[in-house]
Amino acid sequence: MVESVIIICNKSPIGKNSAIEVIRLGSGFMGLGEELDCKIVFTGDSVYMLNKQADPRATGGDSYEETLEMADLSDLELKVLDTALEEVGLSKVDLIDYENLSVISMRDLKGFIDDASSCFYM
C-alpha cells in the first residue's frame, strides 16, 4: 500500500503546465485520505512558480491562484530545494505566502525520497 508520495518537479511554469499539474496530482493524492502523505518538491526552473512577483498572465498563462488554493484546501506540503533557489537568484523572502511551504536541503530531499513509498519526477 502506498503511504507516502514525493513528487519532484523541475520544469519551468512558463509555457508548460508541469508545475501546475504536480500540484493537481498532489492534491488528488491528498484527497485519497488522511493516511496518505504527499509532498511536492520544486527544483530547477519550477521554483519560478513560487516567486511572489511572478505574473503568468504577462506571458499569456493563467493565474496560479486557483491551483495554489487547491493545494491549500488539500493541506499539500510544498517544498523548495535551497540550491535551486540560489541558482535562480531567489531566497525564502521572494516566495509566496503559503503556510505549508518550506525550503529544504538536498539532504532533506534524500531523506524524503528514502522514506517515500513512491516517487514521481516530472
Give the residue carrying C-alpha cell 493565474.
Answer: 63
Give the residue carrying C-alpha cell 519526477.
Answer: 121
Overall pTM surpassing 0.75 (yes/no): yes
- Angstrom distance (rounded) from CA 89 to CA 84: 9
Instruction: Give the pLDDT confidence score for residue 1 in this predicted structure.
Output: 62
Output the nine-digit C-alpha cell for 50. 513560487
Other C-beta atoms lying within 10 Å of the C-beta of residue 9: 26
Instruction: Give the pLDDT confidence score for residue 43 in this predicted structure.
Output: 96
Which domains occur in the chain, in start order? 4-121 (3.40.1260.10)
Instruction: Give every residue of the chain whose pLDDT is below 50, as ranges.
Output: none
Instruction: Give the pLDDT confidence score for residue 61 in this predicted structure.
Output: 67
Output the nine-digit C-alpha cell for 67. 491551483
Residue 109: strand, helix, or coil: helix
Query: Packing angle between helix 18-30 and helix 65-73, nearest 10 degrees?
Result: 20
Instruction: Give the pLDDT confidence score for residue 40 in this predicted structure.
Output: 96
- Angstrom distance (rounded) from CA 55 to CA 57: 5
